[in-house]
Structure 1
Amino acid sequence: MDEYIVKWVPVGVVLWSLAFALVRNSFQSRSFDFCNRIVSVCHACLAVTLASLTVQEWSCPVCPLASPSTPLQKQTLAVTVAYLIYDLICCMFDDHISLDNSIHHLVSIVGLGAGLVYGICGSEMVAALWLTEISSPFLHLRELLKEIGYKDTNLNFAADLSFAVIFTTARMVGGPYLTYVTLNADNPFLIKAMAVGLQLVSAFWFYKIARMVRYKVAKRRKPIKAA
């Protein structure tokens, strides 16, 4: 088994758990979900940064296709697999368990884990990671603002809109393209299946986000508090 799974993933789970404990201790008056979302924002920023650093040729960010993963790509994937395992476990202790979020975590863990096991298609994997995490800071910012008293404000609406635009561009424009090239490259069946699965989950979330934006825009017709 790949050393990145044996060494990096278990250590990563422990480190993300310690990060949550530190945040929880620093924000004792805040909710469990609030603290977990701060850790999630940290992971999203780290994942996007690491994924960007692994790009070998910016004229073709997903190239070379179906090629052996570089050490940095493996490290990037291992960091995120560790985070996803931590977050999946952490979410089980929250008051509200989201079924679609749990499915997304499982699909991502299996897909990225398979990439580590096979040791190939690193370019496609980190590209998928970049596309899925680029909107995450705004996703969590929406909820963080609500808890600190900025619900239904101009600032919260800006966060909602930013998240919707970035998610739609990444998942529904970049996502289908990445799925297409992954399916047409000489990748293992499991990798291709996970690419399709992730895109289907993204499409489902896009539907929910579109409904959210429609509701938010309609609500803007009423007076709201200034941020």
Structure 2
Amino acid sequence: MVSVLLEVTCSLLAWLVLYICFCHWSKHRSYEWSCRLVTLLHGVIVTCLSGYVTLLDGPWPLTHAGSPNTSLQTHVLCLTLGYFLFDLGWCLYFQTEGHLMLFHHMLSISGMILVLALGKSAAEVTAVVFVNEITNPLLQTRWFLREVGCYHTFLGEVVDFFFVLLFLALRIGGGALILHAMVAAPDPSWLLKAGGLAMYVVSLAFMVEICRFARRKMLKKYHSWASLRSVGVGAAPKSNGHSAAR
């Protein structure tokens, strides 16, 4: 546990130092800009690492829920736990997030601490990290595009499409499979099972917000298309195909 505590502390300090460096390099930008750069970098790194651990290195979380932690799983969880501690502190200090996001952070932190303390169930928790974090780079990219005035472009449309697609397919669909494996397996702690269920409920709450956003965006596009179509029809010459008399 001493080595785990040291690794988490080093991770927290590393993310904090990186944030300070971004603030120094981007003095003309807001503190949120620097924090989201850290979040973007963490999302890319941890998605790659947790994806490798879950999909390639193993053990497979759907069949080995509750198995002992591997060293690589421990390193990945320590790295992301340090980030979540940093981000929770930043959100509380600047008061930028709502209760749902803060609850999500506290659930994530509690689950990773429990798994590291018990020495088992890292397989399913690392898989949860993967399906949760894979959409984070797209979410941050969307924010940056909005900040620089490039959100209402084709690139913004592509980012939104893949964000919604990956969220529904992996975070909701994949998360359901992981939760079922965790609850059905006898080895995981009941506390971890309850936390996993709570985390999935939070994901469902996020899904409702995303579906509302997607619905508003589709309706806006439909009304815009209908308006352009009506203008085009109204501008057509009423001459039955014959040239109007001069």
After TM superposition, the score normalised by the length of structure 1 is 0.91
Q: Which residue of 1 aligns with 2:128?
A: 128
* Aligned residues with identical type, % of pairs: 25
1:42-78 Cα deviation digits (max 9, x unpaired): 1111111221332475797314221110011011001
Count of residues in correspondence between the two structures: 222
Q: Which residue of 2 aligns with 1:108?
A: 108
Q: Which residue of 2 aligns with 1:210?
A: 211
Unaligned runs of 5+ in 1: none
- Secondary structure in structure 1 of the residue aligned to 2:114: helix
- Provide the rounded CA distance (Å) in 1 between the counterparts of 2:52 and 2:158: 29
After TM superposition, the score normalised by the length of structure 2 is 0.84
Q: Which residue of 2 aligns with 1:219?
A: 220
Amino acid at match of 1:216: K
1:90-144 Cα deviation digits (max 9, x unpaired): 1123363322111100000001111101010111111111111011100111111
* Contact 2:59–2:123 (8 Å) recurs in 1: no
* Contact 2:68–2:121 (8 Å) recurs in 1: yes
- Secondary structure in structure 1 of the residue aligned to 2:93: coil
- Secondary structure in structure 2 of the residue aligned to 1:104: helix
- Provide the rounded CA distance (Å) in 2 between the counterparts of 1:59 and 1:69: 10
- Provide the rounded CA distance (Å) in 2 between the counterparts of 1:57 and 1:31: 39
- Secondary structure in structure 2 of the residue aligned to 1:150: coil
* Contact 1:4–1:74 (8 Å) recurs in 2: no
Report the alpha carbon displacement of residue 192 of structure 1 after superposing the two structures with TM.
Answer: 0.5
- Provide the rounded CA distance (Å) in 2 between the counterparts of 1:198 and 1:4: 27
The 3 A distance-change label for structure 1 pair 67 and 211 is: same
- Provide the rounded CA distance (Å) in 1 between the counterparts of 2:75 and 2:59: 21
Q: Which residue of 1 aligns with 2:198?
A: 197
Report the alpha carbon displacement of residue 154 of structure 1 after superposing the two structures with TM.
Answer: 2.6
Asked if 1:32 corresponds to 2:34, the answer is no
Q: Which residue of 1 aligns with 2:10?
A: 11
- Secondary structure in structure 1 of the residue aligned to 2:94: coil
- Provide the rounded CA distance (Å) in 2 between the counterparts of 1:65 and 1:97: 32
The 3 A distance-change label for structure 1 pair 59 and 14 is: closer
Q: Which residue of 2 aligns with 1:79?
A: 79
The alignment yields a C-alpha RMSD, in angstroms, of 1.8
Q: Which residue of 2 aligns with 1:93?
A: 93
Asked if 1:173 corresponds to 2:173, the answer is yes
The 3 A distance-change label for structure 1 pair 95 and 154 is: farther
Higher mean C-alpha displacement, 30-39 vs 120-129? 30-39
Report the alpha carbon displacement of residue 152 of structure 1 after superposing the two structures with TM.
Answer: 2.6
* Contact 1:33–1:94 (8 Å) recurs in 2: no
1:7-29 Cα deviation digits (max 9, x unpaired): 11111111101111111112222
Higher mean C-alpha displacement, 141-150 vs 157-166? 157-166
The 3 A distance-change label for structure 1 pair 189 and 161 is: same
- Provide the rounded CA distance (Å) in 2 between the counterparts of 1:74 and 1:182: 18
1:136-165 Cα deviation digits (max 9, x unpaired): 100111111100111333322221221111
- Provide the rounded CA distance (Å) in 2 between the counterparts of 1:86 and 1:204: 24
Runs of 4+ with deviation above 3 angstroms? 55-61
